[in-house]
Amino acid sequence: MKALEGVKILDFTHVQSGPTCTQLLGWFGADVIKVERPGVGDATRKQLVDVPGADSLYFTMLNHNKRSLTLNTKTEEGKQVLERLVKECDVMVENFAPGALDRMGFGWERIQELNPRMIMASVKGFGPGPYEDCKVYENVAQCAGGSASTTGFLDGPPLVTGSQIGDSGTGLHLAFGIMTALYHREKSGRGQKVLAPMQDGVLNLCRVKLRDQQRLKAGPLREYSQFGEGIEFGEATPRAGNDSGGGQPGRILKCKGWESDPNAYTYFITQAAVWQKICDVIGKTEWKEDADFATPDARLPRLNEVFGAIEEWTMTKTKFEVMDICNPLDIPVGPILSMKELAEEPSLRATGTIVEVEHPERGSYLTVGCPVKLSDSPVEVVRSPLLGEHSEEVLEQLGYSADEIISMREAGAI
Ligand code: CAO
């Protein structure tokens, strides 16, 4: 039995943030019924299309382990089906633009009337405040949540990251809120509203930068490279390039082949506890006793020299050789892995983190499987549904007869 078997999710999500959340719930065994507009569906089905006529990877990779029900919730019949679904399900998840559910006639008060045990979980761009009515996408959230202002190099513009911390990150936050509310419902017998604003989710993931904002009052941030370079700090947490955030200096360094391979780099941390071993490995044994290099404090103004010497060594090795040499010595390093390398990595395939999925329209494709492993609730990744693939099945389970389903189809409600 899967961990969430028996939990019914009314999945009103689209694009990325909400679908990330419901996919997680589906992986752990919840019955996820994705409600989509007839003939249209989730907009991502037809975004960034690579196989003409088939659902895009954008859609398929975010909507595994779900059933698709097409329903026009703006028709009378559609509203009636939705009411039945609300009564039947445990959780309703949505990430519509602010106000859309109220306009549809299914705001929180109505949901509670229909089913007081219902947990209504929403992603919005912003929480209550001046921007609560805004429609928000990934990069807007990264900018508004403090990530962009603290990402990039000091002498360059703010940068967005490739990690989808606004969308997928908020989906994760929402899943956590839903599980907490489900647990609470066991005791209270009541559902509740769960809200995960994208700005808040990004800020949560950037909390070390808010830590640094406050530390600025006590003086310059000594572990930032700009301290060693004598560059003054301003009023806000600056961009720290590839500095390591934990107080142990770290940088991305070139490895053998960097001239032609854009990913021939390693991350290298000069962890204080293994400084002597680092000196041995890079052939700078004299630095072990040299007062200018022997202690972390002495090294801080000399980090460019330190990392310059380490890079001279890493450039003679591949990123994997650096890993093989440093790992046994507990020197923290990490190869910069490309998506191609990750896709081909056998150990990720073995654990189900990279999964090959068969799809009737597009053949086989790779996806990221569930990154969280439960020993008693293993995940089997099931391909994403075609638009409306389960409409009849879901409606029959709700008690509709074949004739009723036909007339709903004729009326354009499904
Ligand atoms: N039947 C009938 N109507 C439906 C329907 C259905 N099954 N499903 C959706 N609709 C309607 C909605 O009711 C809404 O109608 P109104 O505007 O008349 O009320 C309409 O479709 C459009 O919904 P939307 O405004 O949510 O969609 P959008 O494409 O304009 O905006 C987005 C997309 C993502 C910007 C917006 O939904 C949003 O801000 N969501 C919250 C934040 C979020 O999740 N952002 C991350 C998205 S991933 O990058």
Instruction: Return the structure tokens found at 146.
Output: 């403090």
CB atoms within 10 A of CB 384: 25
Active site (annotated) includes residue 167: yes
The protein residue with its alpha carbon nearest to ligand 1, atom 49, reads 137
Provide the percentage of residues in the chain whose pLDDT is more than 70: 100
Alpha carbon distance 398, 375 (integer Å):
33
Please state the atom number of ligand 1 nearest to the C-alpha of residue 123: 44
Task: List the structure tokens of 38.
Answer: 């007839």
Compute the distance between CA of residue 291 and CA of residue 298 in angstroms, rounded to an integer: 7
Q: β-strands 119-124, 91-94: how paired? A: parallel
Do the beta carbons of residue 158 and residue 151 sit within 8 Å? yes
Q: Supply the pLDDT for residue 247.
A: 75
Choose the catalytic residue: 167, 200, 212, 243: 167
Closest CA to 387 of 4, 60, 69: 69
pLDDT band, residue 228 (cuts 50/70/90): confident
Q: Give the integer Cα–Cα distance in Å for 393 and 17.
A: 27
Pick from 48, 71, 135, 167 the residue to mutate for probing ligand 1's pocket: most ligand atoms within 8 Å of its CB: 135
d(CA 330, CA 338): 24
**Band of the pLDDT at 245, cuts 50, 70, 90?**
confident
Q: Say whether pLDDT at 156 is over 80.
A: yes
Which ligand 1 atom is nearest residue 70's CA?
A: 7
| Core vs surface per residue 300-334: b (16+ CB within 10 A) or e | beebeebbebbbebbbebbbeebbeebeeeebbbb
Q: How many A from CA of 145 to the centre of ligand 1?
A: 22
**What is residue 223's predicted lDDT score, i.e. its pLDDT?**
87
pLDDT in tens, 364-398: 999 999 999 999 999 999 999 999 999 999 999 99
Nearest to 384 by CA among 412, 365, 409: 365
pTM of the predicted model as reported, rounded to 2 decimal places: 0.96
Position 162 scores a pLDDT of: 96
Cα separation, 126 vs 359, in Å, equals: 36
Q: Whose CA is nearest to atom 31 of ligand 1?
A: 97
pLDDT above 90 (res 326): yes
Amino acid sitting at position 60: T
CA atoms within 13 A on the CB side of 77: 16
Q: How would DSSP label each residue in 164-204?
A: -TTTHHHHHHHHHHHHHHHHHHHHH----EEEEEHHHHHHH
For 135, counting Cβ atoms within 10 Å of its Cβ (0-12 exposed, 13-18 middle, 19+ buried), the class is: exposed
Strand order in 8-12's β-sheet?
67-70, 31-36, 8-12, 91-94, 119-124, 193-197
Question: Residues 6 or more apart from 39 whose CB is under 8 A from it?
Answer: 70, 387
Q: Give the mutation target among 96, 101, 124, 142 for probing the ligand 1 site: most ligand atoms within 8 A of CB.
A: 96
DSSP for residue 288: G
Residues with CB under 6 A from ligand 1: 15-18, 35-37, 71-74, 95-97, 100, 103-104, 123-125, 135-138, 167
Q: What is the pLDDT of residues 272-321, one digit of tens each?
A: 999 999 999 999 999 999 999 999 999 988 999 999 999 999 999 999 99
